């Protein structure tokens, strides 16, 4: 008779399930499989859209806007005065950026973007919003205790640095223009764009090192 080791079986069960996708991911995959089997969608089309939003429509566009502002003072002035028009110059104007305001970080000011009511986000230049941006905890605490939230992201600010919290809505969304990193004077616009992160354009990152890439 074969011995039955309950602890060993439980361990195997946990191991197997630890490699499975999350329940939402499984539901999405099941739905995608069903739609593909019925011939309603093309899997290559889905892959192309995911890649477009994560690589092209995503943060790379916002990074290009920031890098242009860093390297072209006239463009920066236009961006701060009329963000939709300046973004349209680069061909990036979309539904989520038609009512956009750009706020600039400085040595004395740090800006943080949140959407307290839902999760309004300039996805046409920042891509898909991160899960934490949509979480109730971030939406509530970013307004009540922004310094505490920033500290959890590794952003430590001096007492003299003013924190400004901007609450996005469906009618008005915000993009942070981070400070240009020191030591980046000789970098090209593409190299500058490689220093810009999605979090820095939301405000949950502040110091961008000139040695960073990607």
Known catalytic residues are 115, 118-120
Check whether 13 has a pLDDT greater than 60.
no
Distances (CA, A) of 204 to 4, 39, 78, 83, 105: 51, 42, 25, 21, 12
Check whether 213 has a pLDDT greater than 60.
no
Average pLDDT of span 104-111? 98
Q: For residue 15, what pLDDT band results from cuts at 50, 70 and 90?
A: low
- Encode 6-18 in three state secondary structure: HHHHHHHHHHHHH
Q: What is the Cα gyration radius of the chain?
A: 21
Q: What is the DSSP letter of 3?
A: -
Span 57-202 CATH architecture? Alpha-Beta Complex (3.90)
Contact 177, 113 (CB under 8 A): no
User: 165 has which bridge partners?
Assistant: 112
Mean pLDDT of the chain: 85
**CA separation for the pair 64, 31 (Å, rounded):** 35
Q: What is the pLDDT of residue 107?
A: 97
- Encode 80-103 in three state secondary structure: HHCHHHHHHHCCCCCCCCCCEEEE
- Domain residue ranges of the chain, discontinuous segments joined by +: 57-202
> What pLDDT digit, counting tens, does each position of 39-95 carry?
877 878 777 766 666 555 679 999 999 999 999 999 999 999 999 999 999 998 777
Contact 187, 162 (CB under 8 A): no
Distances (CA, A) of 167 to 63, 100, 103, 143, 156: 21, 12, 12, 8, 21
Q: For residue 124, what pLDDT band results from cuts at 50, 70 and 90?
A: confident
Task: Pick the more confident residue, 199 or 31.
Answer: 199
H or E stretch at 37? helix 23-37
Check whether 212 has a pLDDT greater than 90.
no
Q: Locate the DSSP E strands across the chain.
A: 100-104, 109-114, 162-167, 173-177
**Which among 14-23, 44-53, 110-119 has the top mean pLDDT?**
110-119
> What pLDDT digit, counting tens, does each position of 175-189 carry?
999 999 999 999 999
Contact 126, 198 (CB under 8 A): yes
3-state secondary structure of 21: coil
Q: What is the pLDDT of residue 214?
A: 40
Q: What is the DSSP letter of 22?
A: P
Q: What's the whole-model pTM score?
A: 0.75
């Amino acid at each position: 008779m074969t011995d039955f080791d309950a602890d060993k079986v439980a361990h195997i069960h946990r191991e197997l399930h630890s490699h499975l996708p999350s329940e939402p991911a499984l539901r999405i995959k099941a739905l995608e499989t069903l739609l593909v089997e019925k011939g309603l969608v093309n899997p290559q089309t889905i892959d192309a859209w995911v890649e477009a939003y994560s690589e092209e429509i995503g943060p790379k566009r916002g990074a290009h806007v920031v890098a242009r502002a860093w390297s072209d003072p006239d463009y920066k002035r236009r961006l701060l005065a009329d963000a939709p028009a300046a973004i349209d110059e680069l061909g990036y104007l979309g539904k989520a950026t038609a009512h956009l305001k750009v706020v600039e970080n400085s040595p004395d000011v740090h800006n943080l973007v949140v959407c307290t009511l839902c999760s309004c986000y300039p996805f046409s230049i920042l891509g898909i919003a991160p899960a934490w941006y949509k979480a109730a905890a971030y939406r509530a605490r970013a307004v009540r205790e922004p310094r505490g939230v920033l500290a959890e992201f590794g952003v430590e600010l001096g007492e003299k640095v003013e924190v400004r919290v901007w609450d996005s809505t469906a009618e008005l969304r915000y993009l942070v223009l981070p400070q240009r990193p020191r030591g980046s004077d000789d970098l090209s616009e593409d190299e500058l764009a490689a220093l810009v992160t999605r979090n820095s354009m939301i405000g949950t990152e502040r110091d961008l090192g000139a040695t960073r890439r990607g």
